[in-house]
Amino acid sequence: MKLKAVRLLLSGLLLAGSVSASFGQVASDRAGGVTGGLSQPPGRLLTDAVFSPSSFWYTAIPRDVALNPNSANYVADFLRQKQAYYGTVTINTTAYSSPLYIVRSGNTRVTSDNRGKQVTATGLEVHRTDVVEWDCQKKGYSAPGLAAQWRDVPIPATAVPAKGSDSEMSVFDETSDTLWEFWEARKQDGSWQGCWGGRIANATKSNGIFPLPYGATATGLPFVGGQITAEELARGEIKHAIGIALVDPEADGIRSWPALRSDGLNPAGAPNRIPEGLRFRLDPSINVDALKMHPIGKIIAKAAQKYGFVVWDKAGALSIRAENAVSYTSLGQADPYISLFGNTPSYAILDGFPWDRLQFLPMNYGKP
């Protein structure tokens, strides 16, 4: 079966040049609302509902939710990590974040879909391929279950993994409702390989968690659930929880749902380390609009109040992921974050965020 690659375009505009111009308007509107420069702000996006509507990703946190009894100590350790590692929380846009390649089965000409998002066919046909596991960790064995999940993956000809040693990549086939993830993806002699990852079939009916032990993040939480996207930022609203990576998470033996595994280390047994999977939010009583922040940072802060963060990985710096810019540049489009962020570097977008007003939720919060 032949497939066609598709790509979301912003604010209903189908020309890459127009998209870039629209981003420029958004980024320069520092005083007003971020969506003020959009003539047609995007409505419903794929990332609003990749998984079941009941998934924790899309469930708002009640204002009066009971907090973790150790919340204050966790806040203190978060601030310690921020101070110790570069003094900031950065946004990964080109490395250590996953591109998302969206395909749709069949040969029907693509104009728009039933979610109302604007898409366009690239004209590049893609064919299904078996992705082969390669032993990047020198384990000396392979996983038969992974090979079964990586059969007949529809990878577009233009697909490129993320920069950085993790080389992440995600593919979503809307027609079959299937999501694939790859960690340390690479193309060798024309064939795709990956060191680890997984598949979620019937994604829109799933809970948004890879079955143990699959998935490219340390926790098994999929990139597409917790990454922010350029489309969301252009719209002015993120409608899901946001994944966040810490430098010093608690040891693997102590983790919180929805994490099914962890790469945390705490060899000295330091107290109050934050477990992977733990969820936290920004105090919802804060008036975010009154904060002295970049407008993109305010969009993230409002989502952090409503849906919160979830610790999903260990990294070299406190960081959140934005859908990798190569999702766009591989199709000949401009890097949207350049215009969205304006002259502000990605590590400074969240300057002014009141990290001391975080609120940590109880262990296993929201677990069915």
The whole-angstrom distance between residue 199's C-alpha and the CA centroid of its chain comes to 16
pLDDT at 23: 30
Q: Is residue 338 part of a domain?
A: yes
Phi/psi of residue 199, nearest 5 degrees: -140, 140
pLDDT at residue 26 greater than cutoff 80:
no
The predicted-structure confidence for 341-364, as pLDDT tens digits, reads as follows: 999 999 999 999 999 999 999 999
pTM for this entry: 0.86
- How many structural domains are present in the chain? 1
Q: Is residue 367 part of a domain?
A: no
Q: Is residue 366 part of a domain?
A: no
Q: Is residue 368 part of a domain?
A: no
pLDDT at 240: 98
The predicted-structure confidence for 108-134, as pLDDT tens digits, reads as follows: 333 223 222 223 334 456 778 999 999
Tokens at 227, concatenated: 């990454």
Q: Is 119 helix (H, G, I), strand (E, B) or coil?
A: strand
* CA dihedral for 345, 346, 349, 355, sign (positive or negative): negative
Q: pLDDT-derived band of residue 43, with 50, 70 and 90 as boundaries?
A: confident
Q: Is residue 365 part of a domain?
A: no
Q: Is residue 265 part of a domain?
A: yes
Query: Mean pLDDT in the chain?
Result: 86
CA atoms within 13 A of residue 246's CA, in its CB half-sphere: 29
Q: Is residue 136 part of a domain?
A: yes
The parent domain of residue 224 ranges over 3-360
Tokens at 100, concatenated: 């998302």
The predicted-structure confidence for 283-321, as pLDDT tens digits, reads as follows: 999 999 999 999 999 999 999 999 999 999 999 999 999
More confident residue, 5 or 68: 68
- Parallel, antiparallel, or unpaired: how do β-strands 242-246 and 3-8 relate? unpaired
Q: pLDDT-derived band of residue 157, with 50, 70 and 90 as boundaries?
A: confident
pLDDT at 296: 98
Whole-number percent of the chain with pLDDT over 70:
83
Q: Is residue 230 part of a domain?
A: yes
